[in-house]
Amino acid sequence: MLHKNNTESLQTGPLWSGGRLSASVRMALAGGLWLAASLALALWVGRGAPDPFAENQPVTDAASAPVAGLPDQRPQAGSDAADPQARLDALDKMVEEVLPRTLPAARWRRELVPPLVAGGPDSGYGGSSGDGPDGTADLRGMTGSARRSASSGAPTGAPAGASGQATGFPAAARPEAPAVRVYTVTGPCAPLRLGLELLDKLARPDATVRAERQKLAAQEAAPGGPHGENAFNAKSGAALAHRGADWPDPDRPDPDRSGPDLADGAIRLAWTDAGSLDIFDNGRLTHRFLFPGREAQLADLATPLPRPALALVIDDMGQSLSAAEALAALPYPVTLAIWPHAPHARVTADVAAQRRLDVMAHVPMEPLARADGKRPQPGPGALRTDMEPGQIRATLKDNLSALPTAMGLNNHMGSAFTSSAASCRHLCVWLEGRGFFVLDSLTTPDSQLGVQTRALGMVSAVRDVFLDTRRQTPAILSALDQAAAKARARGYAVAIGHPYEETLRALRTWQDKAQVALVPLRRLVWHLAQEKAAGTAETPAR
């Protein structure tokens, strides 16, 4: 037990003499208070400054500022840049889903290539196309790892002129940038279809299209749905259901939906003047698609569509190879719409590829009876109104599989089939999600083909002028003038003709008095797709 005097020493010892603090204690307390006040003031003044030792700090030197003439490489407001790896994973998943649906007959190889660390819009590092004196890629200005990758055959570098997109950034502006996914695509395919579907996936559809897709997804996914046992693909319902869920109603958020929003406006899709298709996320190149042998044909997609523009489509191709050669020899581009089961269909498509011409599948469809009561025969592979939905899809797949380089389709005859909203809808159900462009030949004023494609948010157009309803060269020349006038009035037009000798003669001698640009159909299609993605597309006038 402690003695009383010892316990009282806590109160009356030397530090508490006379009940007052000693001078030394008072000085110590004052110093402590001053130190605490100084620390509090320092914390208040520096509360917004970054921790110099923290990881993943944003770069604040000059290298992180936007490069003149290039988009800002820093994460944009409103994007999911907080988790760039999740966005990259989502993009990878999207690409792996879209590739086999849009390019089913093609082959591709994916390589992980170090990101470009030098060069700008004029760097000239053009993917698989060589810039060196012997046709090899020019390796100047690349890092050692990039040079090793390029010299080993892996595509590197960004092509110049990526439709206004950045083609390279300083190394300090993008630390720890992930490798670029470079796909080399070979075999028969229509690269534009890949671009159209990716653009559709990365754009947010308007409320009407979203509601239509959700309605369609529900119908397809329902047990015993409208296609039943005749459905072409048992997985189509699940695929459409997933696609319909891509864009839930913003007024009724889906609590189960997770993952980054790839339609937040931070992702850009760009064709380049080297013929590649590039994806940029927040200004950083993430994916590149190379199409060896097709670069020259695809390079013009990097250039905005001139106004006014006129695209010419020639139907009924594939019966005669000489007609294809004659059209390919014209001083301006035309699109060859080929009968899928014509005797020279594949060879005609090969001629088009060699001459950098576009190909469409000219799909036979059921016509109405003539005034004399006789019904014309549309030919093999025709779509009919009495077909079950599954039969329509199977027949359509057979037609399109015969022409894997076709970027879209238009109807041969079809006044009866295209007048049926239900038949056109079944056709569009299978086409939607595969990147096809649809041209309504408008063989009847009551056509529902364009109506149904627009309802599902597909890229489509309607024929403006038939060139050779009267098979006389003067009449065809007059029709060409009419098509040019329509192009000047609206900005663009599509005219359809046939490989008649009178039409070929008119095409050789026509003088463009209206000064319109005769463009490949692909350029018009890409322009329409960009307008649709931006929400500025117009309803085609009939």
Ordered DSSP codes for 236-258: HHHHHHHHHTTS--TTS--TT--
Alpha-carbon distance of 283 to 64, in angstroms, equals 12
N- to C-terminal Cα separation, the chain: 110
Confidence label for 456 from pLDDT (cuts 50, 70 and 90): very high
Confidence label for 21 from pLDDT (cuts 50, 70 and 90): low
Which of residues 540 and 379 earns the better pLDDT score?
Answer: 379
CB within 8 A of 25, min separation 6: which ones? 15
Note the pLDDT of residue 176.
67
Confidence label for 177 from pLDDT (cuts 50, 70 and 90): confident
Confidence label for 470 from pLDDT (cuts 50, 70 and 90): very high
Residue type, 15: L
For residues 27 and 134, the answer to whether their CB atoms sit within 8 Å is: no
**What is the helix, strand, coil percentage profile of the chain, to 5?**
40, 15, 45
How is domain 305-534 classified at the architecture level of CATH? Alpha-Beta Barrel (3.20)
Alpha-carbon distance of 188 to 129, in angstroms, equals 20
Q: What are 314-352's pLDDT values in tens digits?
A: 999 999 999 999 999 999 999 999 999 999 999 999 999
Note the pLDDT of residue 117.
38
Quick one: which of 481, 385, 400 has its CA closest to 435? 400
Confidence label for 206 from pLDDT (cuts 50, 70 and 90): confident
Stretch (H or E) spanning 352:
helix 345-354
Classify the C-alpha dihedral 207-240-79-167 as positive or negative: negative
Confidence label for 250 from pLDDT (cuts 50, 70 and 90): very low
Give residue limits of the domains in the chain.
79-202+264-303, 209-261, 305-534
Alpha-carbon distance of 129 to 79, in angstroms, equals 34
Tell me what the pLDDT averaged over the chain comes to.
78
Lowest mean pLDDT among 32-36, 42-46, 101-105, 379-383: 42-46
CB within 8 A of 209, min separation 6: which ones? 455, 456, 457
Which of residues 178 and 186 earns the better pLDDT score?
Answer: 186
- In the predicted structure, residue 124 carries a pLDDT above the cut 90: no
The two beta strands, 309-317 and 335-338, are: parallel
Note the pLDDT of residue 418.
98
For 47, counting Cβ atoms within 10 Å of its Cβ (0-12 exposed, 13-18 middle, 19+ buried), the class is exposed
Note the pLDDT of residue 74.
43
For residues 261 and 80, the answer to whether their CB atoms sit within 8 Å is: yes
Mean pLDDT value across residues 188-197 = 98
For 525, counting Cβ atoms within 10 Å of its Cβ (0-12 exposed, 13-18 middle, 19+ buried), the class is buried
Q: What are 404-434's pLDDT values in tens digits?
A: 999 999 999 999 999 999 999 999 999 999 9
Note the pLDDT of residue 115.
84
Q: What are 387-404's pLDDT values in tens digits?
A: 999 999 999 999 999 999
Note the pLDDT of residue 149.
38
Rounded percentage of the chain residues whose pLDDT exceeds 70: 67
Please work out, in degrees rounded to the nearest 5, the angle formed at the alpha carbon of residue 209 by the alpha carbons of 203 and 279: 15
246: which 2 tokens? 């891509």
Which of residues 57 and 212 earns the better pLDDT score?
Answer: 212
Confidence label for 132 from pLDDT (cuts 50, 70 and 90): very low
Quick one: which of 219, 265, 266 has its CA closest to 243? 219
- In the predicted structure, residue 173 carries a pLDDT above the cut 50: no
Alpha-carbon distance of 414 to 396, in angstroms, equals 14
SS (H, E, C) 453-488: HHHCCCCEEECCEECCCCCCHHHHHHHHHHHHHHHH
Confidence label for 213 from pLDDT (cuts 50, 70 and 90): confident
Quick one: which of 541, 453, 491, 539 has its CA closest to 200? 453
Stretch (H or E) spanning 220:
helix 207-221
Mean pLDDT value across residues 289-310 = 97
Lowest mean pLDDT among 125-129, 294-298, 353-357, 438-442: 125-129
- In the predicted structure, residue 211 carries a pLDDT above the cut 60: yes
Q: Is 98 left (phi over 0), alpha (psi -120 to 50) or beta?
A: alpha
Quick one: which of 458, 474, 424 has its CA closest to 444? 424
Note the pLDDT of residue 136.
25
- In the predicted structure, residue 248 carries a pLDDT above the cut 60: no
Assess whether the previous peptide bond of 308 is cis (omega < 30° from 0).
Answer: yes
Quick one: which of 387, 407, 308 has its CA closest to 102? 407
Mean pLDDT value across residues 511-528 = 95
Note the pLDDT of residue 12.
38
CB within 8 A of 38, min separation 6: which ones? none
Confidence label for 131 from pLDDT (cuts 50, 70 and 90): very low
